[in-house]
Each structure stands twice: as structure tokens, then as C-alpha cells.
Structure 1
Amino acid sequence: MSSKPSAIVSVLYPRIPDLKFNLDYYLTSHVPLTFKLLQPHGLLNGSVSEVVGDSDYAYNITLEFKDVQSWEKGLESGGKELTDDFKNFTNATPVFVVGKVVS
């Protein structure tokens, strides 16, 4: 049985005019890399959604963590490897929103 997350990290990829986003690479390579690097630090679950409608963002990735400290430790440990991989699937700079779960 998995733990209930107490921190949510949203990774938002902006809908820029010349956006390139290789969803196949993202799903088959970057997502497994994310879990490999962050799960030992408290990553519990994640989901990828393609944003619909007239939004400033094209993709929204939701990562659920045991707590904010788990996210920070994971970022410290694997953040560079993950950000170095961005060039393999997108030309956009993501926006990270970290929040504590309140309900």
C-alpha cells in the first residue's frame, strides 16, 4: 500500500510558439529516469497530462512526494542528470511549482 503524498510538484511546460516536445521520448526515457533517480528519495507517484484548451502550458507533469524534503533531496541528488536530459525531448524551459498538500 502506497503512502499518501504530503507534497506535490507540478512541472509545467509552456506553450511557446516554436515548442518541440518529443512525447514518446519523454514517456519511454525521461519518465523512467525520473523514477529511477527520485523514487529512492520519496517519489511516490507521477502522471503526465497534455493540457487542453487555451492554456499557457502544453504539458503538466504531477509528481507526488512523501514530503517537501524528499523532493529537495531528490533534486539535490538527481536534478542535474534530469535537467541535462531536457535537451533530448524539448526546447522549452519548464516551470516548477512545489506545494504542500493541505487536503
Structure 2
Amino acid sequence: MIKVSVLYPNSEQAKFNLDYYCNSHMPMVQDKLGNACKKVAVESGLCGAKPEAAAPYIAMGHLYFDSLAEYQQAFAPHAEDILSDIPNYTNTQPEIQISQVQL
């Protein structure tokens, strides 16, 4: 299984509409990716390594797929629609990491 993580860096200027992300963006992404997307998860940052430290990421979204090829095939036809929705919930530039789930 692979996990596609979309990480939204935190900063003093960062804005993030978690309600829109959870209730509009992620359902739209799931709908477009169809059965290839096995599950999603959304996290909101609380703090860094020390409780008084700001969280490095304001939010994170995770998408799970059986394989990299399945992710690529599902995402490619909808990339423009999915990416063009980003300004509706944040002013940050997300970082993407694709990982092999080991455990």
C-alpha cells in the first residue's frame, strides 16, 4: 500500500479552512479518485516537538492506494480540478510525499 501525504506548511501568514478541506475538498477528491482511493485521513497540527512550539504543518491530508500505478492512473485525469481547488481553503503551497506503507 502507498500513502500520498499532502503537507501544508505552517507560518504566521498561513491560512487554512479546515471545515472546507474536510467537508468539500476531500470528498471531491475521493469522488474523483473513485475506488482506487482506499481511505483518506486529515490531521490538523497542534504543536511541534515542544508544546510551546508551533506545529510545522498547519494540516496534512493522506490518501491511500494499493499501488503507485493505481494512484497515478486515478489522479492524472483529475489533477487540474483537484489542484485548482487549493486556493479555496489555503494560501500555502503544499508539499507532497508518496510513501510505501511498511506497517
TM-score if structure 1 supplies the norm length?
0.86
1:53 — aligned with what?
47
Normalising by structure 2, report the TM-score: 0.86
Q: Which residue of 1 aligns with 2:4?
A: 9
Q: 1 CA distance for matches of 2:88 and 2:24?
A: 10
**8 A Cα contact 2:38 2:66, kept in partner:** yes
Instruction: Give deviations 1:54-98, integer Å, cap 9, x for gaps.
Output: 232111111111211111112211111010000111101111100
Q: Distance in 1 between matches of 2:11 and 2:28?
A: 25
Equivalent pairs counted in the alignment come to 97
Aligned residue number for residue 75 of structure 1:
75
Pairwise CA distance, 1:38: 1.0
Task: After TM superposition, give the deviation of residue 16 of structure 1 in Å.
Answer: 2.1
Unmatched segments (≥5 aa) in structure 1: 1-5
Match of 1:21 in 2: 16
SS in 2 for 1:53: coil
Stretches of structure 2 lacking an aligned partner (at least 5 in a row): 49-54
Secondary structure of 2:12's aligned partner: coil
Q: Distance in 1 between matches of 2:98 and 2:5?
A: 6
| 2:18 is the counterpart of 1:34 | no
User: Which whole-Å CA distance do the structure 1 matches of 2:94 and 2:56 have between them?
Assistant: 12
Cα distance in 1 between the residues matched to 2:10 and 2:32:
27
| Identity over aligned pairs, percent | 28
SS of equivalent residue, structure 1 residue 17? coil
Hey, what's the Cα distance between the residues in 2 that align with 1:34 and 1:102? 24
